[in-house]
């Protein structure tokens, strides 16, 4: 189920109707919102006497306000009832909201138009928790990254096309075409949503609290119960802060820095949106069909590097004459600017897609939509904070390029803080780098590691990075049992403590550490987790697999679980082994050398012996050390 390209999901009923319905919702949101802003800006006199700049900000605020007010209730409803039913009802509500908007256009009544915009924001608020919450119900765990990648790329593509369509419709000024478009889009989205398969309610006994602030706080409290999930929510919200701050500057970047017109802004937006879509879709290939947290730090590095380069790529003075898109592209440095914007989008996809997949994977199944609702609340707060932060810095006299520079630097500070709180992100990044840029990892038999439930993994011990390699290859988190002496090596100590490795010593050397290690292992296995032990007890000194110590038998005596044999090959010649005393002689002998991890069939605990396990591992490894 979990193999193959992510695009195959577009041919399956469990995903396609939902994907189309949400894409058309995002499309319609942006068609209506941008038509309203453009008409109110360029034809303000026929609609209202409100200052266009104030009206633009008022429209943005009215659209985002429902996310703050109603996300709590939306999350509870999505968990209490069938998410497919919630999606259908919300899509049905879009039709009368667009009819109200059409009335506002006919009457040139700005109050009705703003009321419709607020209701559309509310409709999106109730759609989002069910939208993201249904993914872990209809997708296999190995499909979460791909499903989220398609969702994000489809959403940004819909936003882009909606924005461009709004520009065309507003320029023509044909109200009948505008009204027809938004009604047809809403109706089509609703009709498609009817094909979304029914789902059982995640939490049918949940009592929906209709008090706005109480439901909001309850959702945040549910999300806060898991530290990793909550920190991931903050990370995703930071992405929206960063993205909102960058996107808000594009019109001014075009006009005041380059001297460009609306075509230049559109070009920048197109490149940024294509970047987001490309980065999102690349996530599945780079993550190997699993939730790869290592992409998150990789994404944050790119978000900083290209925001900083955007500052250096900006000219000292704008063009003396207004530039169209083609004239802009002919300017020195224009392609560099577009490249920076595109790469900010790509690395933004690397950053946010794994976070959403992780949230869906680790949030309690009965509370997934409430966790997503908490994310929507935080996103709304962060987007508003981004607008206030940007306005404050511009008020203090910062130029647009300097604001971009500050944003890039601030991203370093926030990312470092997040990775300090949750070292798992950084450690997964190290693992991901190890098997993508330092070594080429050949994997086989990974399907023998159970997708759920407890298991004890046993592996030969070749080098200091064995745990990182195994962790990078496995979809599930693993607790490693490590010799206590390794925790005294400064850099390695930080890595393995961050991985929550379990230190163990001999009963004679340190009886308390010995006893405590086996207590932790038993607790982890009883909780249905994976534990990995290197039964040799130390790194190999000659490249061969040493005799297995009896620690495995003690573990199985207390918690009998399946034992999965693993074998690493290729690391004996690496800098991380004990083959050579001199580190210089351990340097790689080739570029991007191959290593391998083979996983054998599980062995029932009653059939396990140290000698038998060693034979399994030796056979898996073969002659390649």
CA distances from 355 to 4, 34, 213 (A): 22, 29, 26
Handedness of CA 200, 203, 206, 209 (dihedral sign): negative
Kind of pairing between the strands at 455-459 and 502-504: unpaired
In a domain, 346, yes or no: yes
With pLDDT > 90 as the criterion, what percentage of the chain qualifies? 23
Indicate whether 410 and 534 sit together in one domain: no
Q: What is the mean pLDDT of the chain?
A: 84
Q: Which domain holds residue 211?
A: 1-226
Say how many CA atoms lie within 13 Å of 569 toward its Cβ: 18
Indicate whether 294 and 211 sit together in one domain: no
In a domain, 353, yes or no: yes
The answer to whether the beta carbons of residues 473 and 445 sit under 8 Å apart is no
In a domain, 380, yes or no: no
Q: Which of 209, 226, 243 is the last residue of a domain?
A: 226
Indicate whether 198 and 287 sit together in one domain: no
The H-or-E segment that residue 192 falls in is: helix 175-193
With pLDDT > 70 as the criterion, what percentage of the chain qualifies? 92
- What was the pLDDT predicted at 581? 67
In a domain, 379, yes or no: no
Question: In sequence order, what are the residues at sequence separation of 6 or more whose Cβ sits closer than 8 angstroms to the Cβ of residue 128?
Answer: 67, 71, 74, 372, 373, 376
pLDDT tens, residue by residue, 115-125: 998 999 999 99
The answer to whether the beta carbons of residues 144 and 135 sit under 8 Å apart is yes
Cα–Cα dist 493/341, whole Å: 38
Which carries the bigger pLDDT value, residue 171 or residue 269? 269
Indicate whether 206 and 287 sit together in one domain: no
User: In sequence order, which ranges of 531-578 are alpha helices (DSSP H)?
Assistant: 551-558
pLDDT at 349 over 70: yes
The answer to whether the beta carbons of residues 454 and 528 sit under 8 Å apart is yes
- What was the pLDDT predicted at 414? 85
pLDDT at 39 over 80: no
Indicate whether 527 and 609 sit together in one domain: yes
- What was the pLDDT predicted at 433? 77
In a domain, 251, yes or no: yes
Indicate whether 169 and 315 sit together in one domain: no
Indicate whether 262 and 123 sit together in one domain: no
The CATH number for 554's domain is: 3.40.1130.10
The pLDDT confidence band at residue 250, using thresholds 50, 70 and 90, is confident
38-67 mean pLDDT: 69
The pLDDT confidence band at residue 323, using thresholds 50, 70 and 90, is confident
As given in the structure block, the two tokens for residue 524 are 């982890």
The dihedrals phi and psi of 125, each to the nearest 5 degrees, come to -60, -45
Indicate whether 248 and 108 sit together in one domain: no
The answer to whether the beta carbons of residues 117 and 32 sit under 8 Å apart is yes
Which carries the bigger pLDDT value, residue 27 or residue 538? 27
Report how many domains make up the chain.
3
In a domain, 66, yes or no: yes
The answer to whether the beta carbons of residues 129 and 369 sit under 8 Å apart is yes
According to DSSP, residue 564 is labeled: E
Indicate whether 611 and 579 sit together in one domain: yes
Indicate whether 450 and 415 sit together in one domain: no
In a domain, 532, yes or no: yes
The answer to whether the beta carbons of residues 562 and 601 sit under 8 Å apart is no
In a domain, 430, yes or no: no
pTM attached to this predicted model: 0.75
The CATH number for 38's domain is: 1.20.1250.20
Indicate whether 306 and 199 sit together in one domain: no
The pLDDT confidence band at residue 2, using thresholds 50, 70 and 90, is very low
Q: Which of 170, 200, 226 is the last residue of a domain?
A: 226
Considering only the C-alpha atoms of the chain, give the largest distance between any 2 of them, rounded to a whole number of Å: 88
Indicate whether 542 and 579 sit together in one domain: yes
- What was the pLDDT predicted at 347? 93
As given in the structure block, the two tokens for residue 276 are 């987001």
Q: Which of 176, 192, 226 is the last residue of a domain?
A: 226
Strand ordering across the sheet containing 478-483: 440-444, 594-599, 563-569, 455-459, 530-533, 478-483, 502-504
């Amino acid at each position: 189920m979990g193999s193959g390209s992510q695009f195959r999901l577009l041919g399956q009923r469990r995903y396609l109707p939902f994907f189309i319905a949400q894409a058309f919702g995002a499309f319609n949101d942006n068609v209506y919102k941008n038509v309203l802003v453009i008409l109110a800006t360029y034809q303000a006199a026929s609609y209202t006497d409100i200052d266009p700049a104030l009206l633009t900000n008022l429209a943005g605020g009215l659209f985002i306000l429902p996310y703050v007010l109603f996300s709590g209730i939306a999350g509870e409803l999505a968990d209490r009832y069938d998410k497919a039913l919630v999606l259908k009802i919300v899509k049905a509500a879009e039709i009368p909201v667009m009819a109200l908007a059409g009335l506002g256009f006919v009457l040139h009544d700005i109050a009705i138009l703003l009321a419709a915009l607020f209701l559309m924001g509310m409709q999106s608020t109730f759609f989002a928790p069910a939208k993201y919450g249904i993914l872990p119900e209809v997708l296999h765990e190995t499909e979460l990254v791909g499903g989220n990648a398609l969702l994000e790329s489809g959403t940004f593509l819909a936003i882009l096309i909606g924005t461009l369509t709004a520009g065309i419709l507003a320029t023509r000024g044909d109200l009948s075409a505008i009204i027809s478009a938004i009604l047809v889009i809403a109706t089509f989205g609703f009709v498609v949503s009817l094909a979304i398969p029914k789902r059982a309610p995640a939490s049918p006994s949940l009592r929906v609290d209709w008090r706005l602030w109480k439901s909001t706080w309850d959702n945040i409290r549910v999300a806060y119960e898991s530290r990793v999930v909550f920190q991931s929510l903050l990370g995703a919200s930071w992405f929206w802060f960063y993205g909102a701050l960058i996107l808000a500057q594009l019109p001014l970047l075009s006009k005041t820095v380059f001297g460009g017109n609306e075509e230049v802004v559109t070009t920048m937006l197109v490149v940024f949106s294509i970047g987001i879509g490309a980065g999102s879709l690349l996530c599945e290939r780079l993550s190997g069909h699993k939730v790869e947290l290592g992409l998150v730090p990789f994404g944050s590095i790119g978000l900083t590097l290209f925001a900083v380069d955007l500052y250096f790529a900006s000219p000292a003075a704008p063009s003396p004459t207004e530039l169209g898109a083609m004239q802009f592209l002919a300017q020195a440095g224009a392609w560099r600017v577009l490249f920076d914007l595109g790469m900010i989008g790509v690395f933004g996809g690397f950053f946010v897609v794994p976070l959403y997949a992780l949230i869906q994977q680790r949030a309690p199944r009965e509370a997934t939509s409430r966790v997503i609702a908490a994310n929507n609340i935080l996103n709304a707060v962060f987007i508003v904070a981004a607008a206030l932060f940007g306005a404050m810095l511009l008020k203090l006299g910062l130029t647009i390029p300097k604001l971009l520079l500050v944003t890039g630097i601030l991203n370093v500070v926030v990312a470092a803080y997040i990775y300090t709180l949750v070292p798992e992100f950084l450690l997964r990044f190290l693992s991901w780098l190890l098997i993508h840029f330092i070594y080429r990892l050949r994997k086989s038999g990974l399907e023998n590691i159970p997708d759920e439930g407890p298991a004890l993994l046993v592996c030969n011990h070749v080098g200091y990075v064995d745990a990182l390699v195994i962790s990078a290859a496995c979809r599930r988190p693993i607790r490693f049992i490590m010799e206590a002496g390794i925790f005294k090596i400064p850099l390695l100590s930080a890595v393995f403590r961050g991985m929550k490795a379990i230190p163990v010593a001999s009963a004679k050397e340190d009886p308390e550490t010995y006893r405590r290690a086996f207590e932790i292992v038993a607790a982890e296995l009883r909780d249905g987790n994976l534990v990995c032990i290197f039964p040799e007890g130390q790194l190999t000194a000659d490249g061969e697999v040493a005799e297995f110590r009896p620690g495995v038998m003690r573990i199985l005596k207390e918690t009998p679980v399946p034992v999965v044999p693993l074998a690493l090959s290729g690391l004996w010649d690496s800098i991380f082994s004990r083959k050579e005393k001199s580190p210089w002689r351990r340097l790689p002998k080739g570029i991007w050398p191959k290593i391998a991890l083979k996983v054998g069939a599980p062995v029932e605990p009653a059939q396990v012996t140290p000698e038998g396990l060693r034979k399994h591992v030796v056979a898996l490894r073969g002659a390649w050390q």
